[in-house]
Structure 1
Amino acid sequence: MEATDCLTMDGRIVHVRTIRPDDAPALLALYQRLSPRSRYLRFFCAGAALDAEVRRLTRAPDADHVGVLVEEGGRVLAAGSYERVGRDQADFALVVADEHHGEGLGTLLLEHLAAAARRAGITELVGDVLPENAAMLKVGRDIAPGSAGRFVCGAVRITVPTIPDDAALAAVGARDRTAAHRSLRPLLAPASVAVVGAGRAAGGVGHEVLAALRDGGFTGSLYAVNPHADQVCGMAAHPTVASIGSPVDLAVIAVPAGQVPDVVRQCCDAGVRAAVVLSAGLDRAAKRDLVASARRHGMRIVGPNCLGVINMDPAVRLDAAFAPAPPLAGGLAVASQSGAVGIAILHASARCGVGVSSFVSLGDKADVSSNDLLAYWCDDPATRAVALYVESFGNPRRFAWVARALSRRKPLLAVKSGRSEGGLRAGASHTAAAAAPDTAVGALFAQAGVIRTDTLGELLDAARVLVDQPLPAGSRLAVVGNAGGLNVLVADAAGTARLTLPTLTLPGRAGDNPIDLGAEATPEAMAAAIRAVAESGGADLLVVTFVATRANDGAAMLAALAAAVDECPDLPVAVVAVGLPDVPANIGVRRVPVFDLPEPAVLALGRAAHYAAWRREPAGSRPVLPGIDAETARDVVRRTLATGDGWQPADVARSLLGCYGVPVVETVAATGADDAVRRAAAVGYPVAVKAAAPGIVHRSDIGAVWLGLSDEAAVRRAYRAIGGALGQARPEVLVQPMAPAGVELVAGVVHDERFGSVVMLGLGGVHTDLLGDSSLRLLPLTDRDAAAMWRGLRGAALLTGYRGAPPVDTAALEDLLLRLGRLAEDLPEVAELDLNPVLAGPRGCTAVDVKLRLARVGAEPDAYVRQLTHA
C-alpha cells in the first residue's frame, strides 16, 4: 500500500504506511511500552514472545501478509497486520500505544488493513478479542456497525467485511467529518493569528491583510511579524513567530516565494497549527517539501498562491484575505481555486444579497482541498449552503463521497471551468469516446447531488433561492403577477427548468395559472393572491411578477409582497420586479430574492426543485452480487499483463466477464474456412462470423462482420470476405449463434487518469457514435446509480415498451451495470472494456461483442479510506 497522511479523531496529522524490516526496533519499543494489562489483552497471556511478534510484523508484505503502522514525528503509535488463512479470509491483529488510546488509531489502522486486503482479493478480516478488551470491541463496532461478534473458545470473534456496507460507509464518513472539523478549526476559527510579512507601507499584501483583520474586529489575538519594523498598522511588530511568546493558531504568510520554506519551518517549530500561504511562485518540488514539513509537525496549509480565508461568525470575525471589501454575513460557504474568481463571487454575492458564512481561496491546494472543506462545512451550523469554483480534482472519488454526504444535508453548488478541454477524446472504443473529461465531471456531480451551473451568475441566482428558503416539496410552479407578458415568459421558462404549471382553483378564479391580476392590481390584491396560492396546496413554488407603472405605488407593493410571503414560510418564492428605480436584493424577513428578469428566477427555482427531488430519493446502496470470483479475475489479469498490455483476445475479455457473472453470447474462435464451418455446426445455425483481431472498433465498416449465416456455404463466403477485408489468407474469426432480438445498447468501462474507472451505458449498435446517447457514472456504483443510468438516456422509452414492444428486463440491465462497476473496482488495470452491442430483452441482457484493453496502472485512490490529499 502507498504511504499516506491521515487525521486522527482529534484532528492531528499522522503517517500511515507499510511496515518495513528496519521498523523492528521501533515496533519492539512500542510493545515494551505497553502495560502488562495491555500485553495480556493483545496476546491473551502475560509473557508474550515480543521478538517473534516483531519478526512476524516486519516480514516483507505479500499476497498473504501485510503489516501497517501509524507514526507521528517518527514515533510509532500503533501497528497492525493481517495473515491470510483462506482464499477469501485473513486474521488481523492490532496494537495501540497505551497513551494513544481513544484517538481512533485502531479504527484508522483497520480501515487501511481492510483496503489492503480488499486489493488482495480478501473479502473479510477476522480477529479474536478477549471479552474484557472493551477498547478493541469498540473498534470492531465502529468499523463494522452491522456485524455482531460471536463467542469462540472464550473470545469474541470480530468479522470485518473488506467491502463496507452502507452503515460502515456512513461511520467512515462521520469519522472523516469529525477529524476534518477538528483539523481545520485552527484555520477557520483561530484564537490567535500572526501575519508574517506585514509591511509598514499600505498597499502591500501582508499590510493589507493585517489591516483587514484589525478593521474587521478579529476577536482573537493578532500579531504582526516583521524583523525590519517596530510597528505595523499601529501594532507592535515581532521579528519572528517564535518571538511572540504566546501560542499562535494561524499564520498568514505573505513573504517572497524564496523565503516561504524558512518561514513555514519557523512556524512548525513554534507550534503553529495552520498556515495560509499567500505567496506565489513556488515550484512543485518546493510545495511538496512545504507540505511534508508541515504535516510532520501537524500543521495544515492553505495555498500557496491564494487570496486568504474569511469567517464571518460574530464569535470569530476573521478576515484574513486581501479582497477589497468583506462580504455580507450569511449562510453560504464559498471555496474557490482562483483568487480572482473568489473576489468576483464575494463582490457579486454582496450585490445580490447573498450572505457568506466563510470563504477559502484554495490557490494551488498543496494541502487543504475542497474535499477537506466539504467535510468541515457538512457539520458547520453557520453554513446552510456551499458554493465551489472548481478547476481540477485531486481525488475525485473522495470528492464524490464527501460531496454526497454534504448534499444530503445542505445544497452544494458548483461551477467547473475547462468544459471545452480537448472535447471528445479520440478513444479506441465507444466507451472511451463517450467518457469525455467534462462528461465525467457531469457524472461525478450527478452522483453526488451537486447542483452544477454554467456560470457564476447562475450559481448565485440558485444560492439566492436555496440559502434562505425551504426546499420545495415538488415541481409545481404557480405564477402570480400584474403583467401578462412577464407571466408568459415565466411559463415558457418553466418548461426549460422542467417545472410544471398546474391548474389552480382559487376563490373567484377557476383554472388560472399564471394568475394575471392586471396592471391596476392593488398591493392588497397581490398579497391576497399569494396567500390563496399558499393555502390551496396546489403549488410547490411561486413566482410573483410585478411591473411598476405610474398607476401603482412600487414601495407599497413591495411592502405588501414582503408581508404576504412572510406569511407563507413553507413555500419557496421568487419575485420578479421590473420598472422600479431602486430594487432591493430581497424582501421580507424570509429574505425572498428579487430578480429583475423572469428567466433567472425560474431557472433558480427549477434547480432548487430538482435538488429537493434528489434529496427525497433514498440513498443508493451497493447490493451483494453473487457469483463473483475476483481472485480468479486478478490471476487472469496478472498472467495476461505478464505477456504484454494493450488490446486482448476475445477469450481473455470473456473470461473476465465470466468471473463477474456478466452474460456473454457463446463465442468460439476458428482459423480457416473448414474450422469455421465445424464451429458453426457445433454452436448451431444461424450464426454470426466476425474478425477476431482485437482493437477493431467498427467491424461493420470494413466488412469484417457477417450476420444471419444459415448454412455452410454462407459461412465460407463470409470467411473469404473477412480475409479479404483484413488482407489475410487465414484470419482468425469468431463464430457465434445469432443472439435473440432486443434493444441494442452499449456498456463498458474506461479508466480515466483523473477520475479513475468510469462505467458507461448508451444506445448501441452501429449508430452508437452518431446518436451520442450515453450515461456515465464513477465508482463505486450503487443500485440507484445503475437505475439512473438507463433512465437518464434520451432513448429510455425504448427500454420501457416503446410503440407496443415488450419492455426490457431493466433489473437484469441494472445487475449487468453493477457487475461492470464491481469489475472496474477490483481491476483498475482494465483500461477499456467495450460491450457493444448488449442486447436487452424481456428476459435478460446479453453482451454480443466484447473488446478489452489492459494497462499497468497504480492503485486508484480508495474511496473507503480516510487519507489526506498528496501534495
Structure 2
Amino acid sequence: MERDLTPLFDPKSVAVVGASDDPAKYGHAVAAQALRAPGRRPVHLVNRRGGTVLGRRAATSLTEIGEPVELVVVSVPGAGFEAAVEEALACGARAIVGITAGFAETGTAGLARQQALAARVREAGAVLVGPNCLGIADNTTELYLASDTFTPGGVALLSQSGNLALELQLRMQRHGLGFSRFVSLGNQADVTLVDLVQDCARHEGTAAIAVYAEDFGDGRAFAQAAAVAGKPVVLLTAGRGTASARSAQSHTGALTTSSDVVAAACRDAGVELVATPREMTVVLAARSSGSRACGRRTAVFTDGGGHGVIAADAAEAAGLDVPELGATTQGRLRAQLWEQSAVGNPVDLAGMGEQNPRSYAETMGGLLAADEVDAVLMTGYFGGYAAAGGGLGGGGATLAEGEEQAAHEVVAHWRATPKPLVVQSMYPQSPSCRALAAAGIPVFSATEDAARALAATVTGASGPPGVAPLPPAAAPLGDAGYHGVRGLLTAAGVPFPQAREVSSEAELLAAADEFPGPYVLKALHLLHKSDAGGVALRLADRQALLAAYRQMHARLGAPAYSVEAMADLDDGIELIVGVNRDPRFGPVAMVGLGGVLTEALHDVAFALAPLPAGRAAALLRGLRSAALFAGVRGKPAVDVAAAADVIERITTVAAAHPEIAELEVNPLLVRPDGVLALDSRAVLA
C-alpha cells in the first residue's frame, strides 16, 4: 500500500527542534534553510534554552509553541531523541525528520531503539525519515530542511550520501538540470526508499528519479516500484562486487554475485544502473531530452575521420550498433555533400563544414529522416567556428554566423522526429552548442559520455520493464534429496528421463528391467556428482550397469544410487537453470550454457524469478554462445521456445518455495524436438 507523504513534502507548518546560533551545529544550518521561505508556512525554532536563534524568538519546547506543528525536524543529542519524538507526536506532528544519529548504525542495541521508535511513529499515524539522515528539501513546495541549497529542476534525488548530492548538483548544472526534491535516506527506519520512489512517481514536479543507495531494504519492492514509476529511474550503488552467497553449494550460488543481482533487477525494472556520479549525470541529461530510440542502429556523424572512428568504437562499446548505411541513404547524402565526404557510417563531412557550415544541418536532417537510423551521435569540431578563438582565422564572423544558424536548423530537424540525438564537441560551451543544449539536445565534451548517453535512450530489447510477482508460497519441500527434488519439478511439468532409486544390486537389476538401456548411474547424496566421479554414462546393458555399480560403490560407498534412461545427447545443447535466493531481492534466476563446463565458460545471464517464458527466451538469445541455438556446422536448430517454457516452470517452483536457498537443473538438454532435464539439486535455507 502506497503511503501518503504530503505532510513530509508539503506540510502546513514546520518546527526545527535543536535550532542553534552555533554554526558548528547542524541545527543551525537546517534552521537557516527553513527560514528561506517564511511566507509559505509558519516556521518555528525550538531551543531548550529559549532566547533567540538567527534573530528570531526560539521556543523552549514544541509544547510552548501553543499550536499544532505538522512537520518536525529533530536535531538533538541521541539521549533526548525519543523524548523529542514523543513531544512532536503529542503536538500533532504528522511527519518527523530525524537528523540525530546513534541507532541501527551503532549495532544491536541501536537497532532495537530504532525499531521501537519506528513502531511508535507508525502507531501514531505519522511518518519518519531517518534517523541518521541529513534532511530533506522540496523546491516545488519551498520546503528547505537540509544544510545546502539545491538548484530547482526536475530530478528527485534519494541519497544515502550528502556529499554525493553536492557533486551531482555541480555536474548537473552544466546540463541545465536541477532538483525537484532531495531526501537523505538515513537508516530508513520508517519511510523507505520504496515509499519515496512511489511518491516521487506521483509527484508532478519530478521528471526523473536519481537514487544513491547502499542498503535497498526490500530490493524486490524497489524494483517493482521503479518498473511502474512511469519516469526514468537512475541508480548508483556501492558494494556490488561481493558475493551474495559465499557458502553457495551449487553452480548457481557460486556464480551469482551481488553485482549480478542488482544488474538483473535493474534490467527487469527498466532502471538505468550507473557506476559513478559522472555517469549518473550523463544518463540523466540524456533521459531529460525525452527522446527514446526504438532500436540500436546508430549513425555517427563527424567532421573529422579520427573523431568518427573513435565515436563508432565508443558507441559499440556502449551496446549500440553502427551499421553501414544502405545505398538509398548513401545516395541522398552523396547528393548533399562533396566528393571527399564519407557516407558509409561514420558519415564524415571531411572539411565541407568550413566551406558551408549549414552542411551540418542538411546532413543531420538526412540522417534523422532515414528509416534505417534509430539515433544519431554527432562528434568533433562543431561549435569551434563560433567559439572565441576557435575555427579558422580565430573563427571568422561568417563561419560563426553560419554555424549558429546550422545549430538552429539542427534543432528544427530534431524536433521533427522522435529520434534521439546526442552531441560530442571540442567546444561544448560555444554559442552553437549552447543553442543545442538549450533546446534539449545533450552536449558533452567526452566521446564516451556521448555514447553512454545515447545508449540510455534505447528502449529495452527484452520488452517493457516488469517484475513478475512472486507466486503464493507452496507447502514446504519435505524431501530435498535427489528424487524428492526431481519429483517436485516433475509435478510442475519439467520433463526428466525415466529413473529409479536403488540401494542394492537386486534393486539395480530390477530397475534395469523396467526400461531399456543404455543407462546412466548416479551416486546420490553428492552435491557435485560429476566432480566426484559419481556419474557413469552410456552403460549399454544390464552387465555394464552392474559393473559400473560395483566399481562406483566400492569407491564412494554411497547409501543410494539412481538408475536412469540415457538421453540422446546428439544434436542437443546443455543449459543450466538455477535460482539463488538473495536476502534483498529474493529469488534470482540464472540461465546459461550448462554441463560440466558451466563455471569455466561462465556464459550465463540473470533475472529476478519467476522468469516468464518470453523473458527467458530473450536471455537465452543474449548469451555469447546464442548462435549455437540456430544450428552450426550442419547441426539442426534447437527448440528455444520449449527451453524457455521449462525455465519458467523451474523458476516458478523455486520462487514458490522460500525454504529453498538454491535450486538448480544442470544440465537441461535442449534438442530440436524438445527439452529434457538430466540432473537437479536443491539446497535448503
Q: Assess same fold via TM > 0.5.
A: yes
Q: Could you tell me which residue of structure 2 aligns to residue 634 of structure 1?
A: 475
Q: Could you tell me which residue of structure 2 aligns to residue 433 of structure 1?
A: 254
Q: Paired residue for 2:204, among 376, 381, 399?
A: 381
Alignment pair present for 1:563 and 2:397 = no
Structure 1 residues 663 and 485, CA gap change in structure 2 (3 angstroms):
same
Identity %: 34
Q: Could you tell me which residue of structure 1 aligns to residue 106 of structure 2?
A: none
- Write the distance in 2 (CA, Å) between the matches of 1:471 and 1:389: 24
Q: How does 1:86-235 map to 2 (within 5 A)?
A: 176=1, 179-180=2-3, 183-215=4-36, 219-235=40-56
Q: How does 1:759-838 map to 2 (within 5 A)?
A: 759-838=589-668
- State the number of aligned residues: 649
Q: Could you tell me which residue of structure 2 aligns to residue 736 of structure 1?
A: 564
- Give the 3-state SS of the residue equivalent to 2:531 in structure 1: helix
8 Å CA contact 1:200, 1:229 repeated in 2: no
Q: Could you tell me which residue of structure 2 aligns to residue 604 of structure 1?
A: 453
* Structure 1 residue 521 displacement after superposition: 5.2
* Structure 1 residue 784 displacement after superposition: 3.5
Larger deviation: 380-389 or 524-533? 524-533
- Write the distance in 2 (CA, Å) between the matches of 1:392 and 1:679: 53
Q: Paired residue for 1:684, among 516, 534, 539?
A: 516
Q: Could you tell me which residue of structure 2 aligns to residue 369 of structure 1?
A: 192
- Give the 3-state SS of the residue equivalent to 2:475 in structure 1: helix
Q: Could you tell me which residue of structure 2 aligns to residue 528 of structure 1?
A: 362
Q: Paired residue for 1:705, among 526, 535, 540?
A: 535
* Structure 1 residue 665 displacement after superposition: 1.7
Q: Could you tell me which residue of structure 2 aligns to residue 9 of structure 1?
A: none
- Write the distance in 2 (CA, Å) between the matches of 1:430 and 1:724: 27
- Write the distance in 2 (CA, Å) between the matches of 1:799 and 1:218: 67
Q: Could you tell me which residue of structure 2 aligns to residue 236 of structure 1?
A: 57
Gaps of 5+ in 2: 104-109, 385-389
* Structure 1 residue 586 displacement after superposition: 7.3
Q: Could you tell me which residue of structure 1 aligns to residue 345 of structure 2?
A: 513
**Structure 1: which amino acid aligns with 2:206?**
T
Q: Could you tell me which residue of structure 2 aligns to residue 292 of structure 1?
A: 119
- Give the 3-state SS of the residue equivalent to 2:581 in structure 1: strand
- Write the distance in 2 (CA, Å) between the matches of 1:799 and 1:756: 30
Question: Deviation per CA, 1:783-825, whole angstroms, max 9, x where unpaired?
Answer: 4433333223222222233344222222222221222232123
TM-score (norm 1): 0.70
- Write the distance in 2 (CA, Å) between the matches of 1:292 and 1:470: 44
* Structure 1 residue 850 displacement after superposition: 1.7
Larger deviation: 280-289 or 472-481? 472-481
**Structure 2: which amino acid aligns with 1:814?**
A
Structure 1 residues 608 and 581, CA gap change in structure 2 (3 angstroms):
closer
Q: Paired residue for 2:373, among 539, 549, 554?
A: 539
Structure 1 residues 582 and 226, CA gap change in structure 2 (3 angstroms):
farther
Q: Could you tell me which residue of structure 2 aligns to residue 344 of structure 1?
A: 167
* Structure 1 residue 363 displacement after superposition: 1.3
Q: Could you tell me which residue of structure 1 aligns to residue 527 of structure 2?
A: 696
- Write the distance in 1 (CA, Å) between the matches of 2:267 and 2:75: 39
8 Å CA contact 2:579, 2:609 repeated in 1: no
- Write the distance in 2 (CA, Å) between the matches of 1:205 and 1:293: 25
- Give the 3-state SS of the residue equivalent to 1:797 in structure 2: helix
* Structure 1 residue 623 displacement after superposition: 13
Q: Paired residue for 1:277, among 89, 98, 122?
A: 98
Q: Paired residue for 2:486, among 654, 665, 668?
A: 654
Structure 1 residues 411 and 521, CA gap change in structure 2 (3 angstroms):
farther
- Give the 3-state SS of the residue equivalent to 1:227 in structure 2: coil
- Write the distance in 2 (CA, Å) between the matches of 1:678 and 1:542: 69
8 Å CA contact 2:244, 2:582 repeated in 1: no
**Structure 1: which amino acid aligns with 2:679?**
D
* Structure 1 residue 436 displacement after superposition: 2.0
Q: Paired residue for 1:483, among 274, 286, 304?
A: 304
Alignment pair present for 1:246 and 2:95 = no
Structure 1 residues 561 and 255, CA gap change in structure 2 (3 angstroms):
farther
TM-score (norm 2): 0.88
- Write the distance in 2 (CA, Å) between the matches of 1:399 and 1:247: 34
Question: Deviation per CA, 1:493-549, whole angstroms, max 9, x where unpaired?
Answer: 121122233524334248343332345255433233333433445533222334234
Larger deviation: 516-525 or 589-598? 516-525
- Write the distance in 2 (CA, Å) between the matches of 1:789 and 1:532: 35
**Structure 1: which amino acid aligns with 2:167?**
A
- Write the distance in 1 (CA, Å) between the matches of 2:402 and 2:272: 33
Question: Deviation per CA, 1:631-683, whole angstroms, max 9, x where unpaired?
Answer: 9x727x2x44xxxxxxx322211221132122122211222334323322322
- Write the distance in 2 (CA, Å) between the matches of 1:845 and 1:605: 39
- Write the distance in 2 (CA, Å) between the matches of 1:830 and 1:702: 24
* Structure 1 residue 417 displacement after superposition: 0.7
8 Å CA contact 1:480, 1:487 repeated in 2: yes
**Structure 2: which amino acid aligns with 1:736?**
E
Structure 1 residues 826 and 499, CA gap change in structure 2 (3 angstroms):
closer
Larger deviation: 414-423 or 387-396? 414-423
- Write the distance in 2 (CA, Å) between the matches of 1:223 and 1:449: 42
Structure 1 residues 557 and 607, CA gap change in structure 2 (3 angstroms):
farther
Q: Could you tell me which residue of structure 2 aligns to residue 255 of structure 1?
A: 76
Question: Deviation per CA, 1:591-627, whole angstroms, max 9, x where unpaired?
Answer: 322211111111111121145x56x648687899xxx
8 Å CA contact 1:336, 1:390 repeated in 2: yes
8 Å CA contact 2:269, 2:466 repeated in 1: no
Alignment pair present for 1:664 and 2:489 = no
**Structure 2: which amino acid aligns with 1:204?**
K
- Give the 3-state SS of the residue equivalent to 1:542 in structure 2: strand
Structure 1 residues 581 and 806, CA gap change in structure 2 (3 angstroms):
closer
- Write the distance in 2 (CA, Å) between the matches of 1:261 and 1:557: 67
- Give the 3-state SS of the residue equivalent to 2:527 in structure 1: coil
- Write the distance in 2 (CA, Å) between the matches of 1:508 and 1:748: 55
Q: Could you tell me which residue of structure 1 aligns to residue 443 of structure 2?
A: 594
Structure 1 residues 623 and 260, CA gap change in structure 2 (3 angstroms):
closer
* Structure 1 residue 310 displacement after superposition: 1.6
Gaps of 5+ in 1: 1-175, 625-629, 641-647, 856-871
**Structure 2: which amino acid aligns with 1:822?**
T
Structure 1 residues 618 and 426, CA gap change in structure 2 (3 angstroms):
closer
Q: Could you tell me which residue of structure 2 aligns to residue 171 of structure 1?
A: none
